[in-house]
Structure 1
Amino acid sequence: MNEKLSRPQFNQMDTTEKQTLMESLAARYDMTFLGLHTFDRWDQSCTTGIFEKDGRKFVFVPGDTVTLGWERFAVGLNQESREELEYLFREWEMEPQNPEEMIRESMAPVRQAAIGPMLVGRELEELCWEPVALDDPRLRPEWLEEFRQFALTGRDSLTLVGHARFERDGDGWQAALYHRMDYSDFRSQLQKQGLSLPTADEWAYLCGGGCRTLFPWGDGLDYSMRLHWFEDMDEDENRPYDMEEPNFFGLSIAYDPYMREVVQADRLTTCGGDGGCNICGGLGPFLGFLPCSPHCKPEVQEDNELNGDYDFYRPIIRLENYD
């Protein structure tokens, strides 16, 4: 790894040096350099470059050698999370369990990983859906009729599973067609664009930055956060979900357990969510968000067909040969 692109050295560079380095990266990868920005969150910080290409925003993430995986609390489970688990054990008439042992079963083993520098997509992107006009001839008459009936209800989103989707967009509607997609075919498409997916280890670094706590902010859930699926939306509709806000690398990552992030592997593998299984199972916020931990075991899916309702992706460019 080029020393300048490793996190310890990169963080010590002054603004002029970083500016020059970022401009050279933009030229090399045919991107627009939008400027330097400091991301400071959860006791980690990085002043880095933001880029744009083909409508996507990327951020430069320096490489590092970090410890990943989890086997015990670094600080200890906070009182609120402990009480939530104890309540669940009673509700489900389970024998009281050691929370550390129970959580360890879901976590990947502790390991050292050398992570290379990357340009990383700041936002998760959809799979399988193609936005289309409402008069697109591929939208079947029976789908449009169902949509017309639905539009009268005043609700905002209709999904005809495996076929089409209609979402309210201001005063109008946005339609989308569903295309079945195979994991290996999708990776080939990305490769032709000069893009890749992060590996599970790279994803864990992008999410946790090498943190040794269960979550980037600590060992328990922070109940002062505004969390997807556990907020009364009427209270403050415009307040953003805390976990969706950019992390210390400037990434919006691991904020919604329903959204599985596809990573690079031999078979379709996902991180950062379980498709909402724990939440649907009534397991509450702590266990509901446990799959969003950077240390959670990657989930190898049963087949290689991507699921456009639950699977999402984050494009990256590895800077392997940068000198």
Structure 2
Amino acid sequence: MSLADLTLARWRALDTAAATRFAEEAARRVGGRLLRVEAAPHLGGTLHRAVIERAGERYALIPGGEVAIGFDVDAWQPAPEQLVSYREESLAGGFGFDEDPRVHLAQVMTPPRTAALPAVLMAVEPRELPELPALVPALLAEQGLRVPEPDEWEHACGAGAGTLFRWGDGFPAGVAPYGAGDGPHRPPNAFGLHIAFDVYDTAEMTSDPGSVYGGDGGEAVCGGYGTLLEWLPLATANRNPSTAEFLYGPEGEGMFEDFGVRPVIDLD
């Protein structure tokens, strides 16, 4: 089996020795070096994290194949505390949100779907945007890199989890979705990416100008939208359309450094 055939299902089925061989081949192909391969519990089984260094930047190996992404809002059953937050904080704040939180989620979450994706290397940490977003693809291309597609970003973040967040459907009580502190949003995800961990600092562009993921620049927190909506920008399928409008609009021209991009290396 070659790297081109490395699907998520096959990657999950590999033992550590086999996963290491694939990771070594990926590192060799891009002129990098393998830093580590480690096994971590994931969705009732085990998933390996393979981290490769290239030109001083760390990348995680992201298997592809036919993957399920997006979020089924109609099937979502909010926890009691999430409903309380929405009703007593979001609705009471007079922001004009619909009585049903599902209506709001449907406006900001991508629908459930499948996508056929290649195996790639994706940067463990996002880079700060070095220039206006329209210029970033060309700058990355000069380094043999590219901007992730929206489907690739969602798959890399969720790693096959169909839950609201990459770690599950809930969020910890008494913990903020930003700054220091413990919580399921802080550690690396199943593929080893440091992703969607701070609503202020982790809004990332993709190849689609209408799809910015991983954060909202603190809009919901600063706006006092309520706990559920403060955490929602960290949801895997939350594409933050208002954040995208800000980034690509005239207001974002002087603040693009507050956004990020996660470089991708193709393995084909």
Change (3 A) 1:298 1:114: farther
Alpha-carbon contact 2:145-2:265 (below 8 Å) kept: yes
Deviates more, 1:211-220 or 1:114-123: 211-220
Number of the residue aligned with 1:117: 119
> What are structure 2's unaligned runs of at least 5 residues?
none
Among 193, 200, 213, the alignment partner of 1:251 is 193
How do 1:98-137 residues align onto structure 2 when only pairs under 5 Å count?
98-128=100-130
More helix by share: 2
Aligned AA (1:55): G
| Cα deviation 1:71-102 (Å, max 9, x = unaligned) | 42646211211111121256325687122223
Q: State the alpha-carbon separation in 1 of the partners of residues 78 and 12 from structure 2.
A: 31
Q: Please, which runs of 5 or more residues in structure 1 have no aligned partner?
A: 129-180, 230-236
The one-letter amino acid paired with 2:32 is: M
Indicate whether 1:191 and 2:193 are aligned.
no
Matches within 5 A, 1:141-180: none
Worse-superposed segment, 14-23 or 256-265: 14-23
Secondary structure in 1 aligned to 2:73? Answer: coil
Distance (Å, rounded) in 1 between the aligned partners of 2:10 and 2:64: 10
1:279 Cα deviation from its structure 2 partner: 1.2
Query: How far apart, in 2, do the equivalents of 1:241 and 1:219 lie?
Result: 13
Q: Determine if contact 2:177/2:185 at 8 Å carries over to the other structure.
A: yes
Aligned pair partner of 2:261 in 313, 317, 322: 313
2:206 corresponds in structure 1 to 263
CA contact (8 A) 2:167 2:185 kept: no
List per-residue Cα deviations over 1:243-300 (Å, max 9, x = no partner).
12101111111111223101113x4742112221111111123101212211123534
Q: Distance in 1 between matches of 2:42 and 2:234?
A: 17
User: In the alignment, is the contact (CA less than 8 A) between 1:127 and 1:306 conserved in 2?
Assistant: no
Structure with the higher fraction of residues in strand conformation: 1
Distance 1:46 1:289 in 2: 26
Partner amino acid, structure 1, of 2:124: R
Give 1:292's aligned residue: 234
Structure-to-structure mapping, 1:56-75, within 5 angstroms: 56-72=57-73, 74=75
Matched residue pairs, number?
Answer: 259
For the residue of structure 2 that corresponds to 1:243, the secondary structure is coil
* CA contact 1:86–1:96 (8 Å) conserved in 2: no
Q: TM-score, normalised by structure 1?
A: 0.71
Once the two structures are TM-superposed, the CA of residue 224 in structure 1 deviates from its matched residue by 6.0
Residues 45/284 of structure 1: CA separation in 2 closer, same or farther (3 Å cut)? farther
Equivalent in the alignment of 2:25: 24
Stretch moving more, 284-293 or 208-217:
208-217
Does the 8 Å contact 1:3/1:9 carry over to 2?
A: no
Percent identity between the aligned chains? 27
Distance 1:127 1:44, change over 3 A: farther
Q: In 2, Cα distance between the equivalents of 1:124 and 1:207?
A: 12
Larger radius of gyration: 1
Q: Distance in 1 between matches of 2:91 and 2:145?
A: 48
User: How many Å apart are 1:219 and its aligned residue?
Assistant: 2.9
Q: Is the CA contact 2:50–2:192 (under 8 Å) kept in the aligned structure 1?
A: no
Equivalents in 1 of 2:190, 2:45: separation in Å?
A: 6
Contact residue 93 and residue 225 of structure 2 kept, 8 A: no
Partner of residue 275 from structure 1, selected from 217, 242, 249: 217
User: CA 1:29/1:2 → structure 2, altered by over 3 Å: closer, same or farther?
Assistant: closer
What is the aligned-residue RMSD (CA, Å)?
2.7
User: Aligned letter for 2:206?
Assistant: V
1:4 and 1:10 in contact (8 A); partners too: no
Verify: 1:10 aligned to 2:19, yes or no: no
Following superposition, the deviation at residue 32 of structure 1 comes to 1.2
